Amino acid sequence: MRGLIALKPRNAAAAGKDFPYGLPTTCFIEVSSDGSVSQGIDVQAYERAVEGTSRLFAVWPGTYSSDLFAIDDLDAYARAVGIVHDQERTGLAEHEHQIRWQPADLDSNGHGTYIYVVVHFECGCAIRDLRAFADQMRAQRGWDVATSSGWSGSGDRFTVRVRRRSLSA
Ligand SMILES: [Zn+2]
């Protein structure tokens, strides 16, 4: 009977920007220097890896087989999962956005909990990551942006859904 074959894991950095850090089915593993193994990576695990007291791995699930990768580029990982803000990935600078906004015509007379809002960036930003935009708008304006329903738009105009009461607050 064959046992486990220990292969040297591939490096996630070699997979470049395509590495699916954000894929919900990607399995993350932390191996501490004392040999303990745990599944999942939180901010504390990331910080331990930066300090060098643990190493991080990810299993990239494939259709027919899955591969183990060593997360060798911790900066890329941190940007990809939002531990470190990534302007290129999110389209959003880390600043107070200069925006104009108005309710979208399509439901301005509605009474739903959430309404569509057209956001016009005057600061040159764009929305490429709705969760990052929602986090920033919560902090900057108290907006409660719905992250489950996606967004639309391009250039400097985007349509998002925002909880009505958070707009008037
Ligand atoms: Zn901006």
- Centroid of ligand 1 to alpha carbon of 95 (angstroms): 6
What average pLDDT does the segment 136-157 reach?
93
| CA trace torsion 119, 122, 126, 132 (10° rounding) | -70
Provide the CA 26 distance to its chain's centre, in angstroms.
14
136, with CB counted inside 10 A (0-12, 13-18, 19+), is buried
Q: How far is the CA of 50 from the centre of ligand 1 (A)?
A: 29
The confidence score (pLDDT) of residue 17 equals 67
Evaluate if residue 169 carries a pLDDT over 60: no
pLDDT above 60: residue 3: no
pLDDT for res 87: 92
Helix (H, G, I), strand (E, B) or coil at 15: helix
Q: How far apart are CA 88 and CA 160, in angstroms?
A: 20
Residue 7's pLDDT band, with cuts at 50, 70 and 90, is: low
Rounded to whole angstroms, the Cα distance separating 49 from 31 reads 9
- 91: pLDDT strictly greater than 90: yes
Question: Rounded distance, CA 158 to CA 1, Å?
Answer: 58
Residue 89 Cα, ligand 1 centroid: separation in angstroms?
14
Instruction: Tell me the mean pLDDT in the region 157-166.
Output: 94
Q: Give the Cα separation of 13 and 21 in Å (integer).
A: 11
Cα(15) to centroid of ligand 1, in Å?
A: 30
Q: How far is the CA of 20 from the centre of ligand 1 (A)?
A: 26
Which residue has tokens 């183990």?
68
The predicted model gives 91-109 an average pLDDT of: 86
Centroid of ligand 1 to alpha carbon of 79 (angstroms): 18
Q: 141 C-alpha to center of ligand 1: Å?
A: 13
pLDDT 10s digits, 13-32: 777 667 888 788 889 999 99
Q: Report CA(156)–ligand 1 centroid distance (Å).
A: 10
pLDDT at 1: 38
Dump the DSSP string for 16-63. GGG--TT-TT-EEEEEETTS-EEE---HHHHHHHHHTSEEEEEEE--S
Q: How many CB atoms lie within 10 A of CB 117?
A: 21
Strand partners, 120: 100, 157
28 Cα–ligand 1 center, Å: 32
pLDDT greater than 90 at residue 138: yes
Average pLDDT, the chain: 87
pLDDT tier, 10 (very low <50, low <70, confident <90, very high otherwise): confident
- 3-class DSSP state of 125: coil
